[in-house]
Amino acid sequence: MATEFHNLSDYNPATMPDASSMKIGIVVSEWNNDITFKLLEGAHSALIKNGVDSENIMISYVPGSFEVVFGAKLMAERTDVDAVIVLGCVIRGETPHFDYICSGVSQGVMTLNIKYHIPFIFGLLTNNNMQQSIDRAGGILGNKGTEAAITAIKMVALNKSKD
């Protein structure tokens, strides 16, 4: 669904599940860190605001967006997390590199969701230009890091539900 129609950054806190016992991992790309670190701030802040203990938030940094998949895999295998959020930013350039990276990360995160018994949350910005990324990293369209954190909490609650 397009951001212009739905913005999870404007969620209703009263409808959020109890996150006080959740352990959340975040893997963030250092490439385009002026954007990705704002996504991280949004995710971390939303997790804390919704009751996740700061000691239960594990953060790992990887060089680029393509590497978030392997970083997320390691986090799932080496820590006791209930979900992993991957954060990155790929901006379209003049070569097909954008398409390969976006496709690879999308497929990688999907594969992790199938292979492991925890949710992996896709927080990769895939924009045409820097302004679109700025708008989605705390700008006029909210913070996709916040949205990824809200999604993680809801998916952990779903994963732990008995229904």
Q: What is the mean pLDDT of the chain?
A: 93
SS3 of the chain: helix, strand, coil, percent, to 5: 50, 20, 30
Catalytic residues: 97
pLDDT at 57 over 60: yes
pLDDT at 35 over 90: yes
The domain defined by 23-160 carries CATH number 3.40.50.960: yes
User: What pLDDT, on the 0 to 100 scale, is given for residue 10?
Assistant: 72
Which residues, 6 or more positions from 89, have their beta carbon under 8 angstroms from its beta carbon?
Answer: 29, 31, 32, 35, 36, 39, 65, 124, 125, 127, 133, 137
Mean pLDDT, residues 38-65: 98
pLDDT band at 9 (very low <50, low <70, confident <90, very high): low
User: What pLDDT, on the 0 to 100 scale, is given for residue 126?
Assistant: 96
